[in-house]
């Protein structure tokens, strides 16, 4: 298994870059190390089926022809696009504070006790 970066050029210069992960077609399964979502310093081995295809994996970048300015950039993880989770000031303003529940009032019942001899 290997990861490869491809660069594509036109007459004006670099057009775009692609990043691929190649799987070994001789193996039916492959093992990947995936970062734990709760601990960034911990990796978990995950066994995935291998169909012998290359997968989009890493950053794909498109450039404005004739310059190095970026038009678009996408990040892939094992052929699935990652969407960035951005939070703006308007998003934080829309978040409601958790509702505070009013404690339930306790009802007192008239109870009479009798002495049993």
90-108 per-position pLDDT tens digit: 555 555 666 666 666 655 5
Structural domain contains residue 61: yes
**Count of helix runs (H) and strand runs (E) in the chain:** 1, 8
- 50-99 residue pLDDT tens: 777 788 888 999 998 888 899 999 999 888 888 776 555 455 555 566 66
Place of tokens 């989009």: 56
How many domains does the chain contain in total? 1
Tokens of 43: 């990796």
Q: Of 39, 80, 73, which Cα lies nearest the Cα of 57?
A: 80
Q: Is 74 contained in some domain? A: yes
pLDDT in tens, 35-47: 887 888 888 888 8
Q: Which range marks the domain in which residue 71 is found?
A: 2-84
Rounded Cα–Cα distance for residues 79 and 54 (Å):
9
Alpha-carbon distance of 22 to 52, in angstroms, equals: 8
């Amino acid at each position: 298994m290997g990861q490869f970066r491809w660069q594509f050029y036109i007459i004006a210069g670099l057009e775009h870059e692609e990043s691929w992960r190649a799987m070994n077609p001789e193996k039916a399964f492959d093992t990947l190390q995936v970062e734990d979502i709760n601990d960034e310093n911990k990796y978990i081995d995950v066994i995935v089926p291998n169909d012998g295809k290359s997968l989009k994996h890493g950053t794909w970048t498109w450039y404005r022809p004739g310059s190095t300015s970026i038009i678009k950039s996408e990040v892939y993880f094992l052929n699935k696009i990652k969407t960035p989770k951005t939070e703006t000031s308007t998003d934080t303003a829309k978040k409601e504070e958790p509702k505070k529940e009013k404690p339930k009032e306790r009802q007192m019942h008239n109870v009479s006790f009798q002495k049993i001899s």
